[in-house]
């Protein structure tokens, strides 16, 4: 079975009506730009892709060899699922610029499964729950009509706001040895300034660099951080040049018990909400109305990440909202660019030394990119939902979703521990809980989403058009 792509390349911007988008979903940038854009998505996704296996390894105290195998497995599996999601295989994959990444939402169930049955229990739980979620793709497609312009905007606002604490903790180097030092300030401020400058410049020549503003900030920050001595080169030197994730390298699947399957499925259900929202949001950013078939295909790929990641020794995946924000920030919405990111993830997973080099990036530099990316997600949400906010009903929907998104992390763990284990994946994560409550409010509150007070948008160089639904 082969990945399906369009038969011929098209010129940048063809068939694309969204303002600020330079390369549309089916456009293929020139090779060097293609490489740079794909690498930029890699850099944005890499923190979570590496962070999840590192956190898991620390909790269960894996040895160095097992830790290396897990990291490699996550990277390779993420690359494979990202390529399927962006290019498609038959009915699987949304054929949109969506990066599939490891998620911290699975960290609790992964740890629990390892304690009770090792990697065999993890793999089996991921396989079974993944197939369950893939089957639910037939149902989730029916909710496509509920994802209109307003709720997409609300989802984007909630996503950006709920993720911003992660960006700020990285930017300020909270808990790092260089926290509150001059080096931390400089390596956070200068990359952020570079990203903002190239994102906002009106110079005709410099505007061409807007699409790689985040990547340029990362490069500048990495060089400055190296000058300050913030990079630990020991893991880079110690890492081997080549390594390949072998199927079920750390254990063969074994029955994990019904409770663990239910827990994995519960987390997958929470991710399903995000996936439907991410797919709808990125289509909206590109000026397109997503189809029920695309939502179903996106969920198929999300669910099948369970069995696919298990084969390579990785963890279940879900679509990555940060990369949706990068589409808006860079103006590059080509699914072929994201497919290139998937290929890079596979290559990086087979080169541990390169993995160690990227993973050694100081948190301040990474935080600068995340601040810009998360901020653009929220800003895009404001742009889309703003015209609808004159309705008290819509304001209530957004407010109810923002309450957990903003404040859930401030609640004491003793309180969160009282939530039944079956509901914990849905009610203890700021992002998932915020999206879930906003969606439920949108479906249950009386009245519908009314037409916006400002019924049209004036696009540069074109006529006024109705906001996309």
Query: What's the mean per-residue pLDDT of the chain?
Result: 77
CA dihedral sign, ordered 157, 161, 162, 166: positive
Q: Is 80 exceeded by the pLDDT of residue 206?
A: no
Give every CB contact of residue 340 below 8 A, 6+ residues apart in sequence. 34, 35, 37, 38
Written as six digits, the tokens of 164 are 């911003």
What is d(CA 259, CA 251) in angstroms, rounded to the nearest whole number? Answer: 20
Q: How far apart are CA 272 and CA 336, in angstroms?
A: 23
Cβ distance 154 to 385 under 8 Å?
A: yes
Which pLDDT does position 108 carry in this prediction? 67
Q: Which residue range is the domain that position 211 belongs to? A: 31-441
For a pLDDT cut of 70, what percent of the chain falls above it? Answer: 81
pTM beyond cutoff 0.75? no
User: Both ends of the chain: CA-CA distance in Å?
Assistant: 34
What is the per-residue pLDDT across 211-251, written as a single tens digit (0 to 9) for each?
567 767 878 888 888 888 888 787 777 777 876 666 777 77
Residue 20 in any domain: the answer is no
pLDDT in tens, 134-183: 887 777 656 556 667 787 788 778 878 887 887 788 788 887 788 788 88
Residue 297 has pLDDT above 60, yes or no: yes
- Confidence check: pLDDT of 84 > 90: yes
pLDDT value at residue 208:
60
Q: Is 11 part of any domain?
A: no
Closest C-alpha among 128, 66, 64, 173 to residue 310: 128
319: confidence class by pLDDT, cuts 50, 70, 90: confident
CB 137 within 8 A of CB 297: yes
The answer to whether residue 324 is domain-embedded is yes
Specify whether the CB–CB gap between 340 and 329 falls below 8 A: no
The two tokens of residue 385 are 């939902």
Query: What is the model's pLDDT at position 399?
Result: 92
E strand segments, 250-356: 317-319
Q: What is the pLDDT of residue 80?
A: 92
Residues 334, 338, 340, 345, Cα dihedral to 10°:
170
- Cα gap 143→292, rounded to integer Å: 8
Residue 1 lies in a domain: no
Task: Please indicate, yes or no, if residue 323 is contained in any of the structural domains.
Answer: yes
Q: Return the structure tokens found at 463.
A: 């006529």
* Helices 335-349 + 64-87 axis angle, to 10: 160
d(CA 176, CA 174): 6
Q: Return the pLDDT at 253.
A: 81
- pLDDT per residue over 381-412, tens digit each? 888 888 888 888 898 999 999 998 888 878 88
What's the pLDDT at 82? 93
**Residue 204 domain-assigned?**
yes
H helices of 149-242, in order, are 149-171, 182-200, 213-228, 234-238
DSSP letters for 29-94:
--HHHHHHHHHHHHHHHHHHHHHHHHHHHHHHT--HHHHHHHHHHHHHHHHHHHHHHHH-BTTBS-
- Rounded Cα–Cα distance for residues 162 and 156 (Å): 10
pLDDT for the residue 451: 58
pLDDT at 270 over 70: no
- Mean of pLDDT values over 64-79: 82
Indicate the DSSP class of residue 12.
T
* φ, ψ for residue 346, nearest 5 deg: -65, -45
Does pLDDT of 462 surpass 60?
Answer: no
Q: What is the mean pLDDT of residues 302-325?
A: 84
**Per-position DSSP letters for 103-157, written without gaps between them:** -GGGHHHHHHHHHHHHHHHHHHHHHHHHHHHHHHHHHHGGGGGG--HHHHHHHHH
**pLDDT on residue 50:** 74
Q: Is residue 3 part of a domain?
A: no
Strand-pair partners of 89:
92
Cα Rg of the chain (Å, integer): 21
Minimum mean pLDDT range among 10-24, 191-205, 453-467: 453-467
Output the pLDDT for position 2: 41
Q: For the chain, what is the domain count?
A: 1
Phi and psi at residue 6, to the nearest 5°: -70, 150
Instruction: In whole angstroms, give the CA distance from residue 392 to residue 400.
Output: 12
Within a domain: residue 53?
Answer: yes
pLDDT at 107 over 80: no
Task: List all residues 6 or more positions away from 425 whose beta carbon is below 8 Å from its beta carbon.
Answer: 105, 108, 109, 263, 266, 267, 269, 270, 432
CA 367/CA 175 separation, integer angstroms? 14
Neighbouring CB atoms inside 10 A of 11's CB total: 10
Q: DSSP string covering 381-441, please? A: HHHHHGGGTTSHHHHHHHHHHHHHHHHGGGS-HHHHTTS-TTTHHHHS-HHHHHHHHHHHH
Residue keyed to tokens 């304690």: 115
Distance of CA 183 to the CA centre of its chain: 29
Reported confidence tier of residue 64, pLDDT bands at 50, 70, 90: low
């Amino acid at each position: 079975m082969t990945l399906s792509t369009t038969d011929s390349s098209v010129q940048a911007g063809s068939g694309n009506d969204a303002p600020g988008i330079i390369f549309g979903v089916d456009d293929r940038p020139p090779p060097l730009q293609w490489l740079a854009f794909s690498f930029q998505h890699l850099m944005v996704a890499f923190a979570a892709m590496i962070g999840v296996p590192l956190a898991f390894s620390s909790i269960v105290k894996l040895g160095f060899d097992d830790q290396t195998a897990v990291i490699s497995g996550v990277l390779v599996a993420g690359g494979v699922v990202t390529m399927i999601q962006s290019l498609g295989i038959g009915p699987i994959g949304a054929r949109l610029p969506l990066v599939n990444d490891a998620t911290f939402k699975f960290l609790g169930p992964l740890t629990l499964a390892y304690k009770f049955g090792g990697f065999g229990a993890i793999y089996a739980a991921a396989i079974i729950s993944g197939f369950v979620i893939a089957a639910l793709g037939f149902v989730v497609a029916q909710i496509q009509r509920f994802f209109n312009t307003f709720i997409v905007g609300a989802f984007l606002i909630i996503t950006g706001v709920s993720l911003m604490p992660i960006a700020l903790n990285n930017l300020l180097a909270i808990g790092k040895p260089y926290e509150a030092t001059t080096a931390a300030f400089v390596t956070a401020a200068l990359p952020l300034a570079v990203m903002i400058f190239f994102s906002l410049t009106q110079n005709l020549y410099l505007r061409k660099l807007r699409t790689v503003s985040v990547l340029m900030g990362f490069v500048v920050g990495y060089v400055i951080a190296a000058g300050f001595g913030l990079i630990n080169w020991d893991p880079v030197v110690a890492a081997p040049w080549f390594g390949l994730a072998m199927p079920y390298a750390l254990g063969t699947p074994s029955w994990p018990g019904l409770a663990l399957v239910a827990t994995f499925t519960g987390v997958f259900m929470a991710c399903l909400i995000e996936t439907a929202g991410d797919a709808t949001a990125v289509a909206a950013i590109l000026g397109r109305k997503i189809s029920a078939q695309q939502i179903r295909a996106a969920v198929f790929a999300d669910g099948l990440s369970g069995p696919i990641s298990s084969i390579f020794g990785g963890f279940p995946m879900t679509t990555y909202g940060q990369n949706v924000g990068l589409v808006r920030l860079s103006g590059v919405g080509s699914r072929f660019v994201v497919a290139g990111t998937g290929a890079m993830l596979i290559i990086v997973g087979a080169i541990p030394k390169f993995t160690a080099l990227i993973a050694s990036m100081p948190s301040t530099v990474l935080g600068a990119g995340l601040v810009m990316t998360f901020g653009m997600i929220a800003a895009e949400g404001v742009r889309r939902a703003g015209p609808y906010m004159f309705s008290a009903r819509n304001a209530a929907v957004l407010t109810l979703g923002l309450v957990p998104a903003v404040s859930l992390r401030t609640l004491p763990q003793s309180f969160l521990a009282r939530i039944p284990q079956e509901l914990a994946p849905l009610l203890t994560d700021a992002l998932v809980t915020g999206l879930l409550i906003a969606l439920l409010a949108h479906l249950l509150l009386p009245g519908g989403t009314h037409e916006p007070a400002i019924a049209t948008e004036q696009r540069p160089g074109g006529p006024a058009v109705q906001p996309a639904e």
